[in-house]
Amino acid sequence: MSTIVRRGTRVQEGQIRFHYDGREYFGQPGDTAASALLAQGVRHFGRSVKYRRLRGVMAAGSEEPNALLTVGTRPAVIPNVPAPRLTLHEGLVLRSQNRWPTLSVDLASLLQIGGGFFGAGFYYKTFMWPNWRTYEPIIRRLAGLGEAPGACELPPVAVENCSCDVLVAGAGAAGLAAARAAARAGATVVLCEREPVCGGELEFEGGTIEGRESLNWVAATLTELAGLGARVLTDTDLVGGSDGQVVLHRQRGGIAGADTLYRVRPRSVVIATGAVERPIAFIDNDRPGVMLLGAAECYLARYGVRVGREAVLFANHDRVYAAAARLAAGGMQVRAIVDTRSASTGVGNSLRAELERTGTQCLSGHAVIAVEGGREVRAVRVAPLAGSGPERRIVCNVLLQSGGWSPNTQSGAQDGGAREYSPGLAAFVAAEQPLWRAFAGTANGRLELCDVLADGQIAGEHAARQAGCATGAGAGAVTAIDARGDGAPRLVAFWRSPSPPQLEKKQFIDLQNDVTVADLRTALAEGFSDIEHVKRYTTLGIGTEQGATSAVLGAAILAELKGVPPGAVGISRPRAPFAPVTMQSLAGLRVGSAFRISRRTPLHAWHAAHGGVLESSGLWLRPRYYLANGPDAFTAGIAEARRVRATGGIVDGSTLGKIEVAGPDAAVFLDSMYLSKASTIKAGRGKYMVNLREDGMVLDDGLVLRLAPDRFVATTSSGHADHMLSHFEHYRDTQWNGRAVTLTDVTEAWAVIAVAGPQSRATLQRVLGSAWHEILTRLEHMGFADGHFQGRDLRVLRASFSGELAFELHCRPGIAVTLWQTLNDAGLGPYGLEALDILRVEKGYLVSSELNGETTPHDLLMDGLVKLGNPCLGRELLDRPGLHKPARPRLVGVRARDGRSKFLAGAQLCTENERTHPVGYVTSAVFSPTLDQWIGLALLARRLGEDTQLLARDPLRGGDTPLRIVPAVHFDPTGERMKQ
């Protein structure tokens, strides 16, 4: 347990207890897992995935490639959490990854012996005998980073929609300047920052801005922004979006938990997301103790953690000297500074002299070529880059390196944005951008504090103007922000130290995926020279940190190996999301029971309360059967169907689509949409109508009711209601150019109760009252009448989907339950979809099983409707010869030849002598209680005669059933029953 209280910008006094790999540790409030463990001398945070090499912490942010931990206890673990981003809280349980049985003794690390064997793409060249499947299970277990979660216990994400004039991503110096400039210009501003606190590098760099200490300036700017109404979101990444919509993801504490997903609609966007410090490749540069220089500064300033006692610094720019001074002031012993540049000049030199006085060895024109120490850094080997000076060995326990900075430009490649190589910066910077998006500060390649602030301010003002906000009289004439910070870095590109070829396999580029310089050489030797090919072949830059530290380094080393400038190699294209986003957050509110809406009919509660077994039918929930009628769908369905034919029953048909078609041209419009004419329907009558898709296939069928000369209701099948409305609207607005037809979806304005059975009329006459008595007697098939029930609208339509005498009651939803209950009390029991299906198959009526988008009206025995010659939509293409060939299907009825065997929908139909080439299939099959046998509808090649002996072949569920062909109407072919 640590006894010294550390001080830093982010830690407070206090003690937090947590566990790492089974041991107890302590941290302070504000610590991350990385800072607390480093403070207690922990160097090992996991093993690499391919070579199982021990790894430590390299970075201080989400760019960390190595120190990924599994958090929590099984089964709801969260894997691959970067330790430097994980804020500690009491009782946290952490585990290192890719090791078995323990981190220090790992069986698979024996694989290191075969290091060269497992180079880039090795798996493409072996594991072929006898087949890949033999090896795959082992390979899969070895790959894959963290533990697989067995459960997820995250609360649902919060989703927030908002808009603003200017969105600024990144709250470092540039972002703050940009946000302030925009807010001062009157723009509404949202400022998002990945870290839990604002300030970026100002947090440790020191310096002054506008006469204040940097950190005070940050605080003052945030206060001013708050006063101007700007919104600041910390712990928040910009993850995606394009013109008009940007998606932000807030994840507090660096781990999935109480996440928020913001959809922001900004008018303009400033990207000020800074840059990532780059490592340099040298031998064994992956050893625990090799870290980024900026990371060491972060740990010191934020958490008061010295990442090592004795440090060697390795860099290619002037900033290293100021950093060394700050680290020394923080109590670290800087043994040496290894500068790859041959002569350092300017500000570096005065600092350098001072550093040398206090015992720091400063070597110019040198490079660290290797690290010594098997399990962590014990010393580094340094050699001169030119000439043949002596190689030195410098003892240290941490090597801090800085190879320059790669601007974070991932979010600048979409919507026509481009990136280009900047030789001065030795990195890729944003190039041409759309008007609404600008890069600023370090993200825009500026490195000196004055430039960064000025760039931010200009970008902020530009963004405000772009958003239509006045920027005052001073528009265009930017007041420079007075600031003093670290000087120009004077960087000279340096990517990797010299190495004998056989040791290039220890010069790591992508530490997470164990991609080395040797792998790039292999890729080149095998002809993969384009960066996109190299990325795919070697897995360079595809890790959880999205290549933050490896993409530019890899591109540059590839360029070196190819002998071309880095700009000629380019950089592989970044892909959204620009920061990893939790799947639960992407799913948003659509999780669990809210995955998709549930549509409920006005009778839903009644069904649920009366044993209705509700099942999804599309988005609707509908009763399949009622438990009172049997324990399962099969038994209950038969009982319900039998009762309908014997006496009667009621079924909830409210899901039926209903489109009201009105206006002077309504009739002519409908004529053009259906195979038969609507204009011949008399008011007060309905008609069964069929319409076609543009290619001549049957789209839907339904009843069209004429309410008045200029008013119709077209009913559609439940599943087609939405599409049919769009379809109608499309043709009205294109072919018809908006002529006098209005289309209104009235599906949910009317509940529908279908009343079927021999006693339906009599019961209705009893229930509906005397006003309806006479009407019900007179009502002919397909006739309807409008009236009232208990003072509310009621339409009674005589139509049947069961073959029985039947009526559809279209009533207002408010009285549906009363009406239904009254009918139920009067002796008409409810039936569900199962019985509905039995009744309609007995009658050969069609549903989506037959109207499946593959069938023409001829296939479905609607030749008569086609012959009417109505020139409706879809007719023209119906004449194509292929739609009339003998192999086209025709609707038939089928029954078992023995009169009792079972067969099911989905069985394929074959003839006795062609048992493997189906000639059709069973579309629907039910057990008919009326006929006391299995009956079905089928689509069968029309070349076959009615006496063909068929086999229903159903190898999936059983065997073969000999079938015979019968008319598609199994029961009451002349329709006597419904004419009663």
Partner 1 sequence: MSRLHCPFCGPRELREFRFHKTLPTEPGTAFAGIYERIDNPELSVEHWQHVEGCRGWLRVTRNPSSGAVLETRLLGGGVA
Partner 2 sequence: MRHYSAWSLLRARLAGNSHWQPLWSGQSLQQAYDVVVVGAGGHGLATAFHLARDHGIKRVAVLEKRLVGYGNVGRNTTIVRSNYLLPENHYFYEDSLRRYETLSRDLNYNVMYSPRGVVDLALSDDDFPGLARRGNALRLAGIDAELMNISALERFCPELEPRRSRRFPILGALVQRRGGTVRHDAVAWGYARAASALGVDIIEDCEVTGVRTRGEVATGVETNRGYVQAERIAFATAGHTGMIGTMLGVPLPIETHLLQAMVSEPVKPLLHTVLVYVAPGHAETYICQSDRGGLVMGGHLDGFPSYTREGQWDRLEDVVQGAVELLPQVGALRILRQWAGTNDMTMDGSPIIDRLRYDNVFVNAGWCYGGFKAIPASGAACARFVATGTAPDLIKAFRLSRFATGHLLDERGGGPFPARQ
Least distance CB 245 / partner 1 (angstroms): 4
Choose the contact partner of 730 out of partner 1, partner 2, none; CB within 5 to 8 A by kind. Answer: partner 1
Among 204, 321, 537, 750, binds partner 2 (CB under 8 A): 537
Does residue 740 sit in helix, strand or coil? coil
Q: Which tokens in the block code for residue 13? A: 């006094």
* Cα separation, 339 vs 313, whole angstroms: 8
DSSP string computed for 339-376: E-SS---THHHHHHHHHHHTT-EEEESEEEEEEE-SSS
Q: How far is CA 739 from CA 593, 668, 674, 742, 870, in A?
A: 43, 10, 18, 9, 20
Between residue 869 and residue 888, which ones bind partner 1 under the rule CB under 8 A? 876-877
Place of tokens 């391919």: 50
Which listed range, 550-558, 594-602, 730-738, 881-889, lies at the site for partner 1 (CB under 8 A)?
A: 730-738
Nearest distance from C-beta of residue 962 to partner 2, angstroms: 16
Euclidean distance between CA atoms 305 and 301, whole angstroms? 8
Asked if 624 is part of the footprint of partner 2 (rule: CB under 8 A), the reply reads yes
Rg for the chain, CA atoms, rounded: 38
Q: Is 260 in the site for partner 2 (CB under 8 A)?
A: no
Determine which residue in the list 364, 584, 790, 948 makes contact with partner 2, applying CB under 8 A. Answer: 584
* Three-class DSSP category at 414: coil
> Which positions ≥6 away from 327 have C-beta within 8 Å?
296, 297, 300, 311, 313, 334, 400
Distance between CA 948 and CA 16 in Å, rounded?
Answer: 82
Interacting partner of 525 out of partner 2, partner 1, none (Cβ under 5 to 8 A depending on kind): partner 2
Q: Which is nearer to partner 2, 590 or 979 (CB)?
A: 590
Do residues 320 and 337 make contact, with C-beta atoms less than 8 angstroms apart? yes
Report, in Å, the least distance between residue 664 CB and partner 1. Answer: 7
Across-strand partners of 245? 242
Q: Which of 160, 213, 632, 733 binds partner 1 (CB under 8 A)?
A: 733
Determine the Cα–Cα distance for residues 405 and 427; give it in Å rounded to an integer.
7
Q: What sections of 304-445 are H helices per DSSP?
A: 319-329, 347-357
598 binds, among partner 2, partner 1, none (CB under 5 to 8 A by kind): partner 2
Candidates 74, 393, 596, 979: give the one binding partner 2 (CB under 8 A).
596
Total residues at interface with partner 1 (CB under 8 A): 27
Among 93, 108, 503, 904, binds partner 2 (CB under 8 A): 904
Matching residue, tokens 């309360």: 609
Distance of CA 502 to the CA centre of its chain: 43
**Which option in partner 1, partner 2, none does residue 136 bind, with CB closer than 5 to 8 A by kind?**
partner 2
Among 29, 487, 783, 918, binds partner 2 (CB under 8 A): 918
Q: What character string, x for contact with partner 1 (CB under 8 A) and - otherwise, covers 116-155?
A: ----------------------------------------
924 lies in the binding site for partner 2 (CB under 8 A):
yes
688 interacts with partner 1 by CB under 8 A: no
The Cα–Cα gap between 648 and 922 comes to 29
Q: What are phi and psi of 744, to 5 degrees?
A: -130, 130
Question: Which residue is associated with the tokens 């992508």?
Answer: 510
Residue spans of beta strands (DSSP E) within 403-482: 405-407, 419-422, 427-430, 437-439
> Which element (helix H / strand E) includes 963?
strand 960-966
In the complex, least distance from residue 848 CB atom to partner 1, rounded to whole angstroms: 21
Only segment of 342-350, 373-381, 482-490, 881-889 that touches partner 2 (CB under 8 A) = 881-889
Interaction of residue 474 with partner 1, rule CB under 8 A: no
**Is residue 236 at the binding interface for partner 2, with CB under 8 A as the rule?**
no
Nearer to partner 1, 230 or 238 (CB): 238
Of the candidates 5, 353, 475, 525, which one interacts with partner 2 according to CB under 8 A? 525
3-state SS class at 291: strand
Return the residue of 342, 358, 742, 818 that touches partner 1, per CB under 8 A: 742
Contacts of 843 (CB under 8 A, 6+ apart): 801, 802, 803, 969, 970, 971, 972
Indicate which single residue of 416, 424, 474, 476 sits in contact with partner 1 (rule: CB under 8 A): 416
Residue 288 Cβ, how far from partner 1 at the closest point, in Å? 44
Stretch that binds partner 1, among 563-571, 608-616, 680-688, 722-730 (CB under 8 A): 722-730
Q: Where are the beta strands (DSSP E) in 28-92?
A: 46-47, 54-55, 68-71, 78-82
> Of partner 1, partner 2, none, which one does residue 737 interact with (CB within 5 to 8 Å by kind)?
partner 1
The distance of closest approach from Cβ of residue 728 to partner 1 in the complex, given in angstroms and rounded to an integer, is: 11
Site string for partner 1, 11-50 (x = CB under 8 A): ----------------------------------------
Distance of CA 768 to CAs 468, 598, 765, 779, 809, Å? 65, 32, 6, 14, 11
| Interface segment toward partner 2; rule CB under 8 A; list 35-43, 202-210, 486-494, 541-549 | 541-549
Closest CB to partner 1 among 417 and 554? 417
525 vs 771, which CB is nearer to partner 2?
525
Residue appearing with tokens 């559609």 = 716
- CA of 108: how far to CAs of 57, 80, 112, 142, in Å? 21, 19, 8, 8
Q: Whole-number minimum distance, CB 662 to partner 1, in Å?
A: 7
Q: Is the peptide bond before 84 cis (omega within 30 degrees of 0)?
A: no
Q: Using the rule CB under 8 A, is 162 a contact of partner 1?
A: no
Those residues whose C-beta lies under 8 Å from the C-beta of residue 82, and which sit 6 or more positions away, are 61, 62, 64, 67, 68, 69, 254, 544, 545
Taking residues 297 to 336 in sequence order and writing x for each that binds partner 2 by CB under 8 A, - otherwise, the string is ----------------------------------------
Interaction between residue 125 and partner 2 (CB under 8 A): yes
Positions 131 through 150 that interact with partner 2 (CB under 8 A): 131-133, 136-137, 139-141, 143-150
The DSSP output letter for 591 is -
Considering the rule CB under 8 A, would residue 502 count as an interface residue with partner 2?
yes
Per CB under 8 A, 662 contacts partner 1? yes
Question: At 70, is the secondary structure helix, strand, or coil?
Answer: strand
Name the token pair of 847: 């549903």
Q: Is 415 in the site for partner 2 (CB under 8 A)?
A: yes
Size of the site for partner 2 (CB under 8 A): 125
Tell which one of 1, 4, 105, 151 touches partner 2 (CB under 8 A): 151
Residue 941 interacting partner from partner 2, partner 1, none (CB closer than 5 to 8 Å by kind): none
**Residue 664 interacting partner from partner 1, partner 2, none (CB closer than 5 to 8 Å by kind):** partner 1
Q: Is the CB of 131 or the CB of 974 nearer to partner 2? A: 131
Give the helix/strand (H/E) hosting 750. Answer: none
CA distance 408 to 516: 23
Q: Could you tell me the two tokens for 26?
A: 């302590």
Name which of 153 and 694 has its Cβ closer to partner 1: 694
| Contact flag: residue 726 with partner 1 (CB under 8 A) | yes
Q: How far apart are CA 883 and CA 472, in angstroms?
A: 71
Of 205-264, which residues contact partner 1 (CB under 8 A)? 241-245
Residues 279-308 that bind partner 1 (CB under 8 A): none
- Secondary structure element (H or E) that encloses residue 166, with its range: strand 158-169
Decide if 409 contacts 419 (C-beta within 8 A).
yes
Encoding tokens for residue 295?
A: 């990371």
Please state the closest distance from residue 528 (CB atom) to partner 2, in A: 8
Among 271, 905, 940, 968, binds partner 2 (CB under 8 A): 905
Judged by the rule CB under 8 A, the positions of this chain that interact with partner 1 are 241-245, 415-416, 662-665, 694-695, 726, 729-730, 732-734, 736-738, 740-742, 876-877
